Amino acid sequence: MTNKIYKTEEEWRKILTPEQFKIMREKNTESPFTCEFNEYKGEDGVYHCVACDLPLFRSYAKFESGTGWPSFYNPVNIDNFIFKEDYDFGVGRTEVLCARCESHLGHVFDDGPLPSGKRYCINGAALNFKK
């Protein structure tokens, strides 16, 4: 388990951009097809939580889902996430949060490719890429 990071909402506002704050702290979603990482097929590396730098996904686990958000089929470490049932909008989904800072990242679905069969649909504004 990672060391938790606790900050006030005011402290998060100083660290995150207004868009990142809305997504990560208020659980909003960025518009589809607007994030730089949606179609990013860069070099080998790791996507990290932009709020606390926790490693989340390796670049090889990214795939094109056609949804408009970066999608991954396997995390770096499952313990880097918290999963919560989400029934907003009347639809049952599983919310994905960063285990270190408890920021909202996106949702996970059971319609991804093998080997996991999972599709982690993540807001690109919540990610930072490191080579």
- Listed by start position, the domains of the chain span 9-130
Please enumerate in sequence order all residues whose Cβ is within 8 A of that of 91, keeping only pairs 6 or more positions apart, or say none: none
pLDDT cut 70: percent of the chain above it: 97
Output the DSSP codes for 102-115: --EEEEEES---TT
Based on the number of CB atoms within 10 Å of its own CB, is 42 exposed (0-12), middle (13-18) or buried (19 or more)? exposed
Q: Is pLDDT above 70 for 1?
A: no
What pLDDT sits at residue 41?
74
Mean pLDDT score of the chain? 93
DSSP code per residue over 12-35: HHHHS-HHHHHHHTT---PPTT-S
Per-residue pLDDT tens for 39-78? 777 689 999 999 999 999 999 999 999 999 999 999 999 9
Average pLDDT over residues 107-111: 96
Q: Which residue in 35, 52, 101, 121 is the catalytic one?
A: 121
Report pLDDT for 91: 80
Would you state the pLDDT for residue 2? 63
- Taking only the tens place, the pLDDT of each residue in 7-50 is 999 999 999 999 999 999 999 999 999 988 877 776 899 999 99
Residue 98 is among the residues annotated as catalytic for this protein: no
Report which secondary-structure segment, H or E, holds 56. Answer: strand 55-58
pLDDT (tens digit, 9 = 90+) per residue, 84-103?
A: 998 876 788 999 999 999 99
pTM, entire model: 0.93
Furthest C-alpha separation in the chain: 41
The CATH code belonging to domain 9-130 is: 2.170.150.20
